[in-house]
Structure 1
Amino acid sequence: MTIDPNIEARLIELETRLAFQENALAELSEALATSRLEAARNAELLRRALEELKQNRGDFFADPASEPPPPHY
């Protein structure tokens, strides 16, 4: 049994396209996984920065009653 050359060429073209699509899908999956890890790291860094800001808020905004009077008094 012989295969029609046109059908064989089409089959090879489809297999080639499928291989490229599988490769592209694997690359996109890897890029998405990397992006998710980076987003998680950034979220953790932001959480820590906000936590430190809350802890140090007292240093930035001192109670006006505890400050010495201005020099013109």
Structure 2
Amino acid sequence: MTNITDLEEKIAHLTRTVDDLSDVVARQERALALVMRRVGLLMEREAEREAASGDGVPLADQRPPHW
């Protein structure tokens, strides 16, 4: 009987570990979705800013004024 009790304990511990890991993955998925949305918004904002600059050359490709 001891073997069955040991196996039941191990299964219970493994089940809890899987549940805990599932919670961690779910939190990371939500955090990643938030970061992706924010990066998308920042990219849109930068594209609008570069389009509004009007000179046709993206700000990142312009030479600094001291050149």
The two structures have a TM-score, normalised by structure 2, of 0.75
Q: Bigger relative contact order, structure 1 or 2, given CA contacts below 8 A and separation 6+?
A: 2
Larger radius of gyration: 1
Question: Which amino acid in 2 is paired with 1:63?
Answer: D
Name the SS for the 1:20 alignment partner: helix
**Corresponding residue number in structure 1 for 2:13:** 20
Once superposed, which parts of structure 1, at least 4 consecutive aligned residues long, lie more than 3 Å away? none
Deviations 1:31-61 (A, max 9, x none): 01001101100110000000000011145x5
Identity across the alignment (%) = 16
Partners of 1:24 and 1:48 in 2: how far apart? 36
Partners of 2:55 and 2:44 in 1: how far apart? 21
Unaligned runs of 5+ in 2: 57-67
**Residue 16 of structure 1: CA displacement?**
0.4
**Corresponding residue number in structure 2 for 1:44:** 37
May I ask how many residue pairs the two structures share in their alignment?
56
**Corresponding residue number in structure 2 for 1:63:** 55
Aligned-residue Cα RMSD (Å) equals 1.6
The two structures have a TM-score, normalised by structure 1, of 0.69
